[in-house]
Structure 1
Amino acid sequence: MPPLNIAVAGLACETSMFSPARTLAPAFHPRRDREILTEYPFLQPGTPLGDTAAWHGALIGHALPGGIVVREDFEQLAAEILTRLAAIVATTPLDGLWFDIHGAMCVEGLDDVEGELLRRIRTVIGGRAVVSASMDLHGNVSRELAHQSDLITCFRMAPHEDESDTKQRACRNLVDLLLTQQHDQHDQHDQHETALPYKAWIPLPILLPGEQTSTRVEPAKSLYALVPEVEATEGVIDAAVWVGYAWADEPRNRAAVVVTGWGQDAVAAGAERLAQRFWAVHAQFHFVGPTGSLAECLDVALAAQARPFFISDSGDNPTAGGAGDVPWGLVQLLARPEFQPPSGPTVLYASLPGPQAVQAMVAAGVGAMVTVTAGAAVDATHGGPLTMTGRVHAIRHGDPDALIEAVLQVGSVYAILTQLRKPYHHEHDFTDLDLDPRAADLVVVKIGYLEPELFALAADWRLALTPGGVDQDLVRLGHHRIRRPMWPFEKSFPVPPDLHARMIPLSSDPLTGPDE
């Protein structure tokens, strides 16, 4: 059997269309050629996948979630992907492509950009190369993306503790399929006949934020527990459920189910089973933890005995697409009289970008008293910049996201200011700044559901429903291009949704019919 040759390419950025921020090409931190493969331990020599196929890196780029991607910057990255793939194809018979994406990227002037990017890629690698896509469960699967892919899967956990497992599964499914094709071609002595799996796609009129669909709690916990059961069915290769991305406004933004496999009946039945379960529980989804206004959450935290008490400032969550520089939450916090004296309850706040403020703190040095202004340089929708006077507690250089971090103590609040926005998901994010979250009374973080380390640290927790580009109150955001009716925008459906499987044509076949 000839060796397998597989290319790797993709762009990933979860982008809010309700944030004024814009994402540029450098934010993707593009990696090329061999440096791509160092990102994936399961593709290294000495591993089953690394030894079974030759993996050829084209270009991948993973940006921190943010605002819409500038069209010119997307075109620059997309053109480089096509150029690099063309160079690979010119010297190597390409058997397959691993399409490493998120699924919620939005680009100025384009709808369904992942489907469009894969369509362009197909013009270079051809229709016979097998494509396996791996995605975030908060991505969107249009009919076009399902059509252009031969295999497609997504995470089964939120928080995404199975990200590496999912990507490895996508690659393993791809290699297994290519080996099956090789074996069949060898037996048939027909190098032109290839077998591709069936694909069943079902869109659902549901659009929910991730904070209501965590697999830690019901009903998502049981829904996603059903996925491996369907996958284990004879004739099925993979099963996947997407909840969609709630903070964009395109016709593709909705939940979806895709099942792939060799048995057409099994694939269709599995997809319908998952879709029917999803719809049966759609009205039962709720926030992953107790919620309230920021003021209500602070009142509960101050009255509680549990320490440390975590509060999510969710509306400007940078890991969901928020600009990250909305100062609204910190303004409310500093206005509370309980935190104004230095002897008040210790509060850690993460975080607020303010490049000029950080530079002023660096110039003043640790221990100095400074007056600085930060925030609202990108998103001033919910108030202007915040001016604070306090003591410089710590400064740290060299963070890969923030570049420079500086902590300003204002009363009993320790506010982390950054040169560039950064998510705070790990204990060391705080301890690196001489802050001890375990000893704090309150920790307020721009985040949605707590990531695993913070969840383990929190003695108690509340999700504050704060304003921003990823506001949890979807109805007030102003969607106008999503398909209607859509839960929770409509609470009743006069006509039940069609949950029958749509069998998607093979990737080399023409796509016909509406993207219903």
Structure 2
Amino acid sequence: MASEKQRLPVVAFAGLSCENSTFTPSRTRAAAFHPKRGQEIIQHHQFLHPNTKLGDEADWKGTLIGHALPGGIVERGSFEELAAEITQRLSGICEALQHPLDGLWFDIHGAMYVEGLEDVEAELLRRIRAVIGPTTVVSASMDLHGNVSRELAHQADLITCYRTAPHVDVWETKERACRNLLRTLEIRKAGGSLPLKAWIPIPILLPGEQTSTRDEPAIRIYAAVPEVEKRDGVLDAAIWVGYAWADEPRNRAAVVVTGWDKNAVADGAQELAATFWDVRGEFEFVAPTGTFAECLDLALAAKARPYFISDSGDNPTAGGSGDVTWGVAQLLARPEFRQATGPTVIYASIPGPKAVTIAEKAGVGATITVTAGAEIDDLHADPITLTGQVHSIKLGDPHAQTEVVLKTGSVFVILTKLRKPYHKEHDFTELNLRPRAADIVIVKIGYLEPELYDMAADWMLALTPGGVDQDLGRLGHRRIQRPMWPFDTQFEAQPNLEAQFIPFSNEQLGAEGVA
């Protein structure tokens, strides 16, 4: 057997990832996480393959990783089922080793909410710690729209997040979390210590559509992150915007900087936090906003084609149920679109399992009348009845399962068996739709994902109702910590933006302020 000095570090990985709106009536179940297990996880992460730098630097052990489409609260039983499998698999790995597990990569989002539980990622890591022990080095990778409570920062030794929104650095962030983990293990092996962790909560809670790194002030805020990371004695720097559509005390912006030089770590964290706080009044939406009617009026009057409109209040990639019919009902009520010769509009999308079944049976070219939507979220509008011609049918989509396009007047309405986000051009072209040739494309989304952004000649963000309403004041938060910008614009005193050094997982965490 290889000596302790010669053997590769053994690193397991686990995690559950989802962002859950507490203002959405839908529920997220275990199957929605599409769990990957064991070797399947390594195959999914190319940077861990054999003959890659990271892949050959450790003995990687997969347990279970699950990523669910954002939605409503996770059912307690589903969480318990998946969490139990993670701890059971970790227990098996630990029992098979003749030494403690060296490291764990904790792959999470940071905005999961489970029935009867809060600060869920910290709770899951507590359960994992009960198996792997307090001395195994844990490195977490997160979405910048996640939340970092003091307890999560305590349970994890290393923690980092995306630096772009839209998220074009997902794989880079995961790889960085693993690289930081292996570097820390090497330093510990040579007799060094774990890095210090400076955590600063910031009393700001904004939607991603006001904090995109395409625009100022987020451009310069996030440009400062790698500059802090470059400093001697700093391992990693990260800024979280937080998740705006859950009513939970931990939800807010945060900074975490890790490293071995206490002054460099504290100074870097405080500079990032101060930069964020000082520009709080500069955040604006990523595009012109308006009511849905105003957006349609401007789109019709514009010469730019295709003109995109975000039906943002029911965005399924932010936690919306996806079946709010308010937008499509407003659209189809407009006289401009009642004739086939009217402006060409694509609307994506409305779940309607029964409507999809009827369309499948009728076939392409058939004229049908179906009812769809509002089976889950009926708080904002009723189900909608449509009469139109079946334009196309597609089977086997990993999210929607079955998709149908129904043409009614000059509008092509996409109906799905299950909700689906529409982020890529092929999502439309595979349905025999030509978004580049359309006059108007309406998508349930917030900020436009890269392909849609590049495709749009112009666009607006419609402030529509739903479980992820961009007008946060309409939702009714009750449990976030106050004062909180922009819910509160007057603060009696400046917030405390001094670095708080969080103890390691095997040290006592003070009882104060676990959120």
Query: Which TM-score bucket, shorter chain as reference?
Result: over 0.9
After TM superposition, list the pairs within 5 Å mapping 1:293-332 onto structure 2: 293-332=291-330
Aligned to 1:256: 254
Instruction: Kindly indicate whether residue 109 of structure 2 is the aligned counterpart of residue 102 of structure 1.
Output: yes
Identify the match of residue 89 of structure 1 among 71, 87, 94. 94
The match for 1:78 among 78, 83, 92 is: 83
User: What's the CA shift for 1:120?
Assistant: 0.8
1:373 aligned residue: 371
Paired AA for residue 209 in structure 2: E
Length, aligned pairs only: 507
Give the 5 Å matches for 1:49-198.
Answer: 49-92=54-97, 93=99, 94-184=101-191, 195-198=193-196
Unaligned runs of 5+ in 1: 185-193
Tell me the equivalent position of 2:443. 445
Q: Distance in 1 between matches of 2:12 and 2:277?
A: 37
Which digits, 9 at most, give the CA deviation of each residue in 1:192-217, with x for residues without a partner? xx611000000011000000000000
- Residue number among 44, 51, 60 corresponding to 1:46 in the alignment: 51
Q: Distance in 2 between matches of 1:160 and 1:304?
A: 30
Give me the identity figure in percent.
66
Secondary structure (helix, strand or coil) at the match of 1:178 reads: helix
Per-residue deviation, residues 53-76 of structure 1 (Å, max 9, x unmatched): 011000010000000001111011
SS of aligned partner of 1:359: helix
Distance 2:345 2:43 in 1: 39
Opposite residue 421 of structure 2, the aligned amino acid is P
Query: Is 1:28 aligned to 2:26, yes or no?
Result: no
Partner amino acid, structure 1, of 2:438: A
Q: Kindly provide the CA deviation profile for residues 263-302 of structure 1, in whole angstroms up to 9, marking residues without a partner as x.
A: 0111011000000000000111110111100100010100
SS at match of 2:490: coil
Match of 2:477 among 457, 462, 479: 479
1:358-390: CA deviations, max 9, x gaps?
000000000000000000000000111000000
* Paired position in structure 2 for 1:350: 348
Give me the whole-angstrom Cα distance separating, in 2, the residues matched to 1:467 and 1:130. 43
State the alpha-carbon separation in 1 of the partners of residues 289 and 43 from structure 2.
Answer: 41
SS in 2 for 1:51: coil
Cα distance in 2, alignment partners of residues 26 and 137 from structure 1: 25
Query: Is 1:16 the counterpart of 2:21 in the alignment?
Result: yes
Q: Distance in 2 between matches of 1:67 and 1:450?
A: 22
Counterpart-to-counterpart distance in 2, 1:454 and 1:39: 26
SS of residue in 1 equivalent to 2:453: helix
* Whole-angstrom CA distance in 1 between matches of 2:59 and 2:510: 35
1:94-120 Cα deviation digits (max 9, x unpaired): 100000000000001111000010011
Secondary structure in 2 matching 1:444: strand
Deviation at 1:415, TM superposition (A): 0.3
Could you tell me which residue of structure 2 aligns to residue 190 of structure 1?
A: none
User: TM-score scaled by structure 1?
Assistant: 0.98
Give the Cα separation in 1 of the matches to 2:81 and 2:424.
33
1:344 Cα offset (Å): 0.3
Alignment-mate amino acid for residue 289 of structure 1: A
User: What SS does structure 2 have at the residue aligned with 1:356?
Assistant: helix
- Bigger Cα displacement from structure 2, 359-368 vs 32-41: 32-41
Q: How far apart, in 1, do the equivalents of 2:115 and 2:262 lie? A: 38
> Which amino acid in the other structure matches residue 150 of structure 2?
R
Q: Which amino acid aligns with 1:327?
A: T
Partner of residue 362 from structure 2, selected from 361, 364, 372: 364
Query: C-alpha distance in 2, partners of 1:236/1:486?
Result: 30
CA RMSD, Structure 1 to Structure 2 (Å):
0.7
- CA distance, structure 1, for counterparts of residue 496 and residue 118 of structure 2: 24
Equivalent residue letter for 1:55? W
> How big is the shift at 1:508?
1.2
SS at match of 2:435: coil
Code of the aligned partner of 2:121: E
Spell out, residue by residue over 1:2-40, the C-alpha distance to the aligned partner (whole angstroms, 9 max, x if none): 211000100001100000000011100111111111111
Task: Please give the alpha-carbon distance, in whole angstroms, between the structure 2 residues aligned to 1:513 and 1:127.
Answer: 18
Q: Residues 317-368 of structure 1: CA distance to partner in whole angstroms, max 9, x if unpaired?
A: 0000000000110000001111110000000000000000000000000000
C-alpha displacement of 1:227: 0.3
SS at match of 1:23: coil
**What secondary structure is seen at the aligned counterpart in 2 of 1:89?**
helix
Deviation at 1:513, TM superposition (A): 3.8
Q: Distance in 2 between matches of 1:75 and 1:285?
A: 39
CA distance in 1, matches of 2:394, 2:188: 53
State how far apart, in whole Å, the 2-side matches of 1:223 and 1:60 are: 31
> In structure 1, what is the Cα distance between the partners aligned to 2:427 and 2:33?
22
Q: After the TM superposition, list the runs of 4 or more consecutive aligned residues in structure 1 that deviate by more than 4 angstroms.
A: none
Q: d(CA) in 2 for partners of 1:422 and 1:95?
A: 39
- The letter for the 1-side match of 2:354 is Q
Q: Deviations over 1:443-469 (max 9, x none)?
A: 000000000000000000000000000
Q: Structure 2: how far apart are the matches of 1:178 and 1:88?
A: 19
Aligned equivalents of 1:387, 1:339: Cα separation in 2? 16
Unpaired runs of 5+ residues, structure 2, are: none
Q: Structure 1 CA distance, aligned partners of 2:511 and 2:394?
A: 56
**Deviation readout 1:224-279 (Å, 9 max, x if unpaired):** 00000100111100000001000001110010000000101110110000000000
Aligned residue number for residue 8 of structure 2: 3
Shift of the alpha carbon at 1:183?
A: 2.3
Letter in 2 for 1:25: A
The letter for the 2-side match of 1:312 is S
Amino acid corresponding to residue 110 of structure 1 in structure 2: L
Amino acid at match of 1:343: T
